[in-house]
Homo-oligomer: A and B are copies of this chain.
Amino acid sequence: MAETINLGKALNHGLRRSLENDPKVVIMGEDVGKLGGVFRITDGLQKDFGENRVIDTPLAEAGIIGTAVGLAIRGYRPVCEIQFDGFVFPAYNQIVSQVAKMHYRSKGNVRLPIVIRIPFGGGIGAVEHHSESPEAYFSHTPGLKVVTCSNPADAYAMIQQAIASDDPIVFFEPKRRYWEKGEVDLDLPLDGAYPLHAARTARPGNDATLLAYGPMVKVALDAAAAAAEDGRDLEVIDLRSLSPIDYPVIFDSVKRTGRAIVVHEAPGNLGLGSEIAARITEECFYSLEAPVLRVTGYDIPYPAARAEEEYLPDLDRVLDAVDRSFGW
C-alpha cells in the first residue's frame, strides 16, 4: 500500500511496524509517550503498545542511554529518542564508552541493538542547541554506525532496518524535512529494501558529483536542477550511511565526473566532508580535475535563528562551489 505521507509520519509508521514485529523493541525517551514526542514521531504508539513498550523517561539523557544498555543486555532492542541534537551530550559518555565499546570489550558476547534517534540540523528558526549537526562526533567513534534519511520512503525503511540491525546505530533525522511528503510503500518487505548502509544515486549526472545527506539532499537536488538549466549535468549521491560510508559508489561517480562537492550543515572543520574529501583524493587522485570542495556550516557555534539562512548551505552556495570546481 503506497501512501503519500511526510517524513515524520513515515518514521512513525516504521516504528509502529517494528513494535508490531518484535516484542523486544521498546521506545524510550523524554515525552515520547502521551505527547508522542515534541515532533510527534512516536504519536499514538504508547496508546497502542502500552507504557512498557513506549516509555516516558526521567529527564536525563545519560539515563536513557545507560538504561538502554542494560535493557539490551537483558535482550531488549531499545529505540531511544534524544529530543534535540544539542541534548545528546549528557549521554555522550554512555554512547562513546559503553554503547560503542561493549561488543568489542565483551569479545562479541554482548550485542547492543540500540538505535539512538536524533532529530538534527537547522532551518527551523529555533533557539540555541536545537539546530546542531553533531554527526561527526559519532562517525569518528569506532563501534557506532551512523545513518540518516532524506525522504519519507527511506525514513520508513531505514528506521526499521536500524532497529532490526544488531549494530548500535545513531539515526539522525533531518528535522526540517519532517513535514516534507513523499510516496511510501508501507508493505515493503524489509528484505527487499535498499541496504541500510548503501549510498544511493539520487540523480545521475556526468559533470560533477554532489555528495549530501539528510536535510542537504534536497538542497543538492535543487542545485542540480538549477545547474541543469545552465547545461551542467550534476550527479547527486545521497550518502544515507555516515558510518560506514559507502565509498565504492562515491569513487565510481567521481572517477567518471572528475569533480566532487560535499555538502553538509555541520561546521566544515572535521566535518564529514573532510574525511570524504581525503578519501576521494586518495582513491581518485588522477581523476580529479579540481580538489574536492566542501559547502558546509562555518566553524562557529550555530548562530541565532535570524542568521541561520546565511549559515546554512543553500542552492547558491552549492552552485558557487560547482563554479569554483569548474574554474579550477
Q: Which residues of A contact B (CB under 8 A)?
A: 86, 89-90, 92-93, 96-97, 100-101, 104-105, 128-129, 136-137, 139-140, 142-143, 243, 266-267, 269-275, 277-279, 281-282, 285, 290-294, 298-301, 328
Contact = CB atoms under 8 A, between A and B. Distances in A.
Number of copies: 2
A269 B104 contact: no
Given A101-B128, A101-B301, A270 B267 contact: no
A285 B291 CA distance: 6
A96 B104 contact: no
A272 B97 CA distance: 20
Contacts of A328: 285
A113 B32 CA distance: 39
B89 A97 contact: yes
Nearest to A289: B285
A301 B140 contact: no
Contacts of A89: 92-93, 96-97
A292 B301 contact: no
Contact of A139 (B86, B269, B278, B301): B269
A272 B271 CA distance: 10
Nearest to A90: B93
A67 to B, nearest CB: 16
Contact of A282 (B128, B243, B271, B291): B291
Given A86-B97, A92-B92, A136-B270, 10 more contacts: A100-B301, A139-B270, A140-B140, A142-B267, A142-B301, A143-B300, A243-B269, A277-B277, A278-B281, A278-B292
Given A274-B278, A277-B281, A136 B142 contact: no
Given A277-B278, A282-B291, A267 B301 contact: no
A278 B272 CA distance: 11
Contacts of A281: 277-278, 281, 291-292
12 contacts: A90-B93, A137-B137, A139-B270, A140-B140, A140-B269, A142-B299, A142-B301, A143-B300, A269-B275, A274-B279, A277-B281, A277-B282
A102 to B, nearest CB: 10
A97 to B, nearest CB: 6
Contacts of A267: 140, 142
Contact of A294 (B137, B143, B272, B278): B278
Contacts of A140: 136-137, 140, 266-267, 269-271
Contacts of A96: 89
Nearest to A300: B142
| A92, A104, A243 — most chain B CB neighbours (10 Å) | A92
B300 A104 contact: yes
Contacts of A270: 136, 139-140, 270, 272, 274-275
Contact of A274 (B142, B275, B301): B275
Closest 4 CB pairs of A and B: A89-B93, A277-B278, A140-B270, A92-B92
